[in-house]
Structure 1
Amino acid sequence: MNAELHTLWQSGEKPFHSETIYPREDVFVRDVLVAIPSALDHIAQYYPENQLYSLDDWHEHDGLIVPAKPTSLDEIRTQLATAESYVRHHTDATAVYRAIFPDSLDFLLRYSLWEADSPHQDPSDREVHWTFTAYGHDLCEMKKRWSAYNLASESSARYFQTRYAG
């Protein structure tokens, strides 16, 4: 997280005031290449004028606070174009997520890449994890878009507290 998100998480303010959803079962790069672009389609439709930011989120790794940088849907889509580009644009550090959020702080989209099982593992077979933290319409829409992934839902405050490694 960056300093602002960290403070909002600790005080339970948006986007951390409602729910976080995530797949219950193992998911892989090949799944994220479908699920995250679907989330980006939602963002393009409902947040076309918002500035988007990204950062490497170390919340579950060691809690490191890092600054966010402006990004665009085009830049994110390029990073998600293939399994190889997805892997190339992620750190191999365990439990470090790429986080995307708008200037309105209405949601926090996070996706990760886990260590390869072997040096020659096909990139599309690497395990990943993703979460969507939001409320209201955004949360309902993502539950529909991701219904094939057997989603779990937790209070955002609880989700982030139980996984904090700082």
Structure 2
Amino acid sequence: MGESEGDRAPLRFRGPADYRDAARDPDTDARTLASLARCPYPFVWQALAANPGTPAHVLGDLCSKRDSAWNDGRLLHLLAEHPRADRAVLLAVLAEVEAHLLTSASRPYAAVLALAARRELKPEEVQRLAALPGASARMRAGLRRRLAGREPEAR
């Protein structure tokens, strides 16, 4: 007989590597994943965002996490590519990317390109990023290519 979620012994985390390992594990239950999203370690947030089993509501909780320019950009990129990221999560990522392009020295270009490839977002929603002060000519060109490479939507 298999164990139900309620029958499992609680996970014991002895150190940061235990958090990371649980966040990476595709068999970790949704409740534990949600708990891990509240930990202070950016590498755990990234592991959650890379885990294909992480549910959309947990991904949404990760959207506003902040650490450093590099870690923030990587997290936003992973969230933008996540297979369970629904429209609500992608809109939250879009808002965070926009905030970075408006106010920060960081440039989350990989996240911009990943968002451009997502069919859940309208091209004009992503295209507006090209007009922001942090958008480089290279990012604008990549954005145009990604949007042009999308197949037309079926009607």
Asked if Structure 1 and Structure 2 have the same fold, meaning a TM-score greater than 0.5 normalized by the shorter chain, the answer is no
TM-score normalised to structure 1 length: 0.28
Higher relative contact order (CA 8 A, sep 6+): 1
Judging by fraction of residues, say which structure has more strand: 1
TM-score by length of 2: 0.30
Considering fraction of residues, name the structure with more helix.
2
